[in-house]
């Protein structure tokens, strides 16, 4: 691969990986984009620049991020003994809130919308079932804290994967000598 094509390939991969963080912040499957971008880059370059170990490290980080996100939201809801209705409504409310928030203020608006939507969805669902404002408030706060913890952890782990991959990318072809400053 010539130098210009290598740099363009690296830049395209970095843009795709950063786009995955935007998707994650909106509650969408950005980790899939992250992994498949890295996999495509590695496969198209014949695994010359990114190894199977690099793919395995990214995969482990992604699986850890998904697990933490799932468990944080679940533990936040379970801590306050949320009903199943409240948990389902929190997911739906969080998704809707993320879409609305991202249309107002990209990235940060989606995180705020996710938490607010999850809070509102779980509050309304729990209140409609239990008719207890205090319990509904506790459930909603537990859900919001869990969702925020999960999303932020997922973003941090995705950024760690991106930093790792960028550190592995070559900026010279095997036949060139590295640039010195």
Q: Is residue 106 part of a domain?
A: yes
Q: Is residue 115 part of a domain?
A: yes
Each residue's pLDDT expressed in tens, for the chain with a length of 181 residues:
677 788 899 999 999 999 999 888 777 788 999 999 999 999 998 888 899 999 999 999 999 998 888 788 778 878 888 888 888 888 888 888 888 887 888 767 877 888 888 889 989 998 998 888 988 898 888 888 888 888 889 999 999 999 999 999 987 666 655 555 4
- Residue 174 sits at φ, ψ, to 5 deg, of -55, -25
Secondary structure, 3-state, the chain: CCHHHHHHHHHHHHHHHHHHHHHHHCCCCHHHHHHHHHHHHHHHCCCCCCCHHHHHHHHHHHHHHHHHHHHHHHHHHHHCCCCHHHHHHHHHHHHHHHHHHHHHCCCHHHHHHHHHHHHHHHHHHHHHHHCCHHHHHHHHHHHHHHHHHHHHHHHHHHHHHHHHHHHHCCCCCCCCCCCCC
Q: Is residue 37 part of a domain?
A: yes
What integer pLDDT is reported at residue 166 of this predicted model? 93
Query: How many distinct structural domains can be found in the chain?
Result: 1
Q: Is residue 76 part of a domain?
A: yes
Q: Which of 57, 40, 73, 39 is nearest to 144 (CA)?
A: 73
Q: Which of 53, 28, 1 is nearest to 154 (CA)?
A: 28
Q: Are 130 and 83 in contact (CB under 8 A)?
A: yes
What integer pLDDT is reported at residue 41 of this predicted model? 93
What integer pLDDT is reported at residue 93 of this predicted model? 87
Q: Is residue 77 part of a domain?
A: yes
What integer pLDDT is reported at residue 160 of this predicted model? 96
Q: Is residue 157 part of a domain?
A: yes
Provide the residue range defining the domain that includes 121.
Answer: 3-168
Q: Is residue 91 part of a domain?
A: yes
Q: Is residue 180 part of a domain?
A: no
């Amino acid at each position: 691969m010539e130098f210009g094509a290598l740099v363009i390939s690296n830049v395209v991969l970095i843009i795709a990986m950063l786009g995955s963080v935007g998707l994650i912040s909106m509650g969408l499957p950005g980790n899939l984009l992250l992994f498949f971008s890295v996999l495509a880059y590695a496969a198209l370059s014949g695994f010359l620049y990114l190894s199977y170990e690099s793919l395995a490290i990214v995969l482990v980080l992604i699986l850890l991020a998904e697990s933490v996100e799932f468990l944080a939201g679940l533990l936040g809801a379970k801590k306050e003994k949320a009903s199943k209705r409240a948990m389902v409504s929190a997911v739906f409310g969080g998704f809707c809130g993320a879409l609305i928030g991202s249309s107002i203020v990209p990235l940060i608006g989606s995180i705020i919308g996710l938490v607010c939507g999850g809070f509102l969805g779980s509050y309304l669902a729990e209140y409609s079932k239990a008719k207890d404002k205090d319990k509904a408030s506790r459930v909603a706060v537990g859900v919001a804290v869990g969702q925020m913890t999960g999303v932020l952890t997922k973003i941090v782990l995705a950024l760690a994967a991106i930093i790792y991959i960028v550190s592995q990318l070559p900026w010279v072809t095997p036949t060139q000598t590295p640039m010195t400053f």
